[in-house]
Structure 1
């Protein structure tokens, strides 16, 4: 099921697909593969929401020696039948994270972890990601890079309720400090993020229904530094 927050990253898509983006003239064709795992995958009800644990793996591929783009902004739509309960649990803020790191946040506001590979010129660097509850309309991705220099910054995911086939819209912008580090562009290759399913907050991410066609719709748009825009919409089976 691909209806939940993910960030990092953009993060966040719930189906294994490879998509050719809409690109500006002479821009490289970067493709995106996303593989989700949601447990359990049986939907709950409005009276008894089913809490879930979500793992999302993402892979960006740019062919040949073409310029590897920087992931800058993302928009993710989560389907009707998904539920975000950030307002129910301890939260942290962007200011607290950026000023004091995880130590400044309530322990029970931490909802997941992630890691990945990214190009820093020709060298691979490994972002360390912590998913933090930001309240009823935010999810925070505390991200640390140690190469080519140590940088730590919060990626803020803003959540707005929707109508129709989508329940939520998640928008985020990767801070400039994470896009270029010590003058070196950072281009993400792989990300893996796991969130939700904590004993302390079992229904932080949850489901309340599955459509009659047994498919949840999902949509994501990613904007890249080359001027390219990667877009896809798909469905994932539910029961």
Structure 2
């Protein structure tokens, strides 16, 4: 779908799932993240460079607040690369709903993530598998066992844009049964994801300021739209 920005897009999307994206305008939240892209030397349009991404994040949310829950997330990436989902095997959303990941081709699995979350004082460790969905989709298959067993794929739609400063837009909605589990809201505290296979995500350009950019917006049950922006260092 995009370049390293694609990488950041996926990472940000996962962070939204993991944190259940509580609104920063209502609750004082501190999120710190370290994103490593290998290699960070950009490819070219004629020779795209496949990348692998490692994301580590911490989310500090005061426990004396009752924050709103995220309803959906939209992420934009800059014109610096390419998403090659159409080149790789896919796994269907319906198959994952009925049989989990058992029927997914091995080469459709593009990465994994682990979340450390608080469920009313009890630690919960949701696990996310990143699955290729072809030219227009990426799937996040979420499994958690505390405070109750939940297995749920999330579909993220990828749209290639034809105008403006961004190359791709990713949109997804967070299912209610992953926002509140057994009546308990999940509060993510830490997050680690690694993803990328061959040239599934590939960089094609490093801007003059040596920064890959992305922009994200979370929409919350309170009606808020909370923006976020970020960069990753690159070299030509």
TM-score interval, normalised by the smaller of the two chains: 0.7 to 0.9
Match of 2:81 in 1: 82
Deviations 1:202-223 (A, max 9, x none): 0001101112232222111223
Are 2:212 and 1:213 aligned?
A: no
Match of 2:171 in 1: 171
For structure 1, the 5+ residue unaligned runs are: 14-20
Q: Taking structure 1 as reference, are residues 140 and 153 closer, same or farther at Cα in structure 2, changes over 3 Å only?
A: same
Query: What TM-score comes out, normalization by structure 2 length?
Result: 0.86
For structure 2, the 5+ residue unaligned runs are: 17-22
Partner SS for 1:65:
coil
In structure 2, how many angstroms separate the alpha carbons of the residues matched to 1:229 and 1:29?
15
Match of 2:91 in 1: 92
**Per-residue deviation, 1:59:** 2.6
In structure 2, how many angstroms separate the alpha carbons of the residues matched to 1:97 and 1:8?
21
In structure 2, how many angstroms separate the alpha carbons of the residues matched to 1:133 and 1:85?
10
Contact preservation (8 Å) 2:11, 2:55: no
Deviations 1:33-69 (A, max 9, x none): 2321100000001111000001222332223522255
In structure 2, how many angstroms separate the alpha carbons of the residues matched to 1:49 and 1:12?
26
**Per-residue deviation, 1:183:** 1.6
User: Which deviates the most, 152-161 or 52-61?
Assistant: 52-61
Match of 1:10 in 2: 13
Match of 2:186 in 1: 186
RMSD between aligned alpha carbons? 2.3
In structure 1, how many angstroms separate the alpha carbons of the residues matched to 2:170 and 2:112?
18
Match of 2:71 in 1: 72
In structure 2, how many angstroms separate the alpha carbons of the residues matched to 1:40 and 1:32?
25
User: Which deviates the most, 93-102 or 223-232?
Assistant: 223-232
In structure 1, how many angstroms separate the alpha carbons of the residues matched to 2:129 and 2:24?
31
How do 1:113-124 residues align onto structure 2 when only pairs under 5 Å count? Answer: 113-124=112-123
Partner SS for 1:95:
helix
Contact preservation (8 Å) 1:22, 1:231: no
Larger fraction in helix: 2
Deviations 1:138-182 (A, max 9, x none): 111110010111100012111111233321111111111211111
